[in-house]
Structure 1
Amino acid sequence: MPAIDIFKVFTLEAAHRLPNVPEGHKCARLHGHSFRVEVHLSGAIGEHSGWLMDYADVKKAFQPIHDRLDHHYLNDIDGLDNPTSERLAVWIWEQLKPALPLLSEIVVHETCTAGSRYRGE
């Protein structure tokens, strides 16, 4: 069967501040984002099922991460003391990869026009 990429999108609301930006930078102040997280998986389409993975299983794997991040102050979460979108993408990957071996990419949108992409490299 052919290889395919699939993705599922999740949203979460969270506050943070960036402690390592230059003095006076707006991101040093407490602020929040409506984050959009894309979870991408890659692999072969199942011959019998016709799909790579059930989207419900992707949602189930992501739910504990959503629960830890949504409506929380990201700086208080272990491993996110400097929660840039780049570091958040890596952190989500590290949490999710054990549950989703076919994980191929995490995309974190912190605004409608800016975000980060991590492929586990």
Structure 2
Amino acid sequence: MLIFREITFDSAHFLTNVPEDHKCRQMHGHTYHLKVFIEGKLQKEGWVLDFKVLKDVMLPVIDQLDHKVLNDVKGLENPTCENVIVWIWNSLKPQLPGLKRLELSETPTSGAIYEGD
């Protein structure tokens, strides 16, 4: 079974590996929408994982990104949506062995999906 929890956070970034005249080279911000999927079997409590436990694991990771300049976050010097989702995965996976999938949207019409290597 898959369960999920969603969270939003706001961050700014700029992309340095794009041409000088690309609009994303300038500092700009997004309201990111993250959906974390956990895979597992139903436990005796009737759930795969307590949603509060999932939230408690997610919040310290998201706190490192929320209202921050992503370029200043260690390991996110090139904070494309793709690199941000991999950074989140690497931060959550040690604490969530059932982590199956992440979906990260940086706009209502664009984002990335990551299911590990």
TM-score tier (shorter) = over 0.9
Q: CA RMSD in A?
A: 0.7
For the residue of structure 1 that corresponds to 2:107, the secondary structure is coil
Segments of structure 2 that go 5 or more residues without pairing to the other structure are none
**Structure 2: distance between partners of 1:111 and 1:7:** 20
**Structure 2: distance between partners of 1:96 and 1:12:** 16
**Structure 2: distance between partners of 1:67 and 1:116:** 20
Q: Between the two proteins, what is the percent identity of the paired residues?
A: 44
Correspondence 1:111 to 2:107: yes
Residue correspondence of structure 1 range 84-103 to structure 2 within 5 A: 84-103=80-99
Residue number in structure 1 paired with 2:36? 39
For the residue of structure 1 that corresponds to 2:5, the secondary structure is strand
Q: CA deviation at 1:60?
A: 0.3
**Structure 1: distance between partners of 2:83 and 2:33:** 15
For the residue of structure 2 that corresponds to 1:98, the secondary structure is coil
Correspondence 1:78 to 2:74: yes
| 1:38-82 deviation digits (Å, cap 9, x = unpaired) | 111111111x11110011011000111111110000000010000
1:61 to 52, 57, 61: 57
For the residue of structure 2 that corresponds to 1:110, the secondary structure is strand
Residue correspondence of structure 1 range 10-49 to structure 2 within 5 A: 10-46=7-43, 48-49=44-45
Residue number in structure 1 paired with 2:4? 7
Segments of structure 1 that go 5 or more residues without pairing to the other structure are none
For the residue of structure 1 that corresponds to 2:97, the secondary structure is coil
Between Structure 1 and Structure 2, how many residues are aligned?
Answer: 117
Correspondence 1:51 to 2:47: yes
Q: TM-score, normalised by structure 2?
A: 0.97
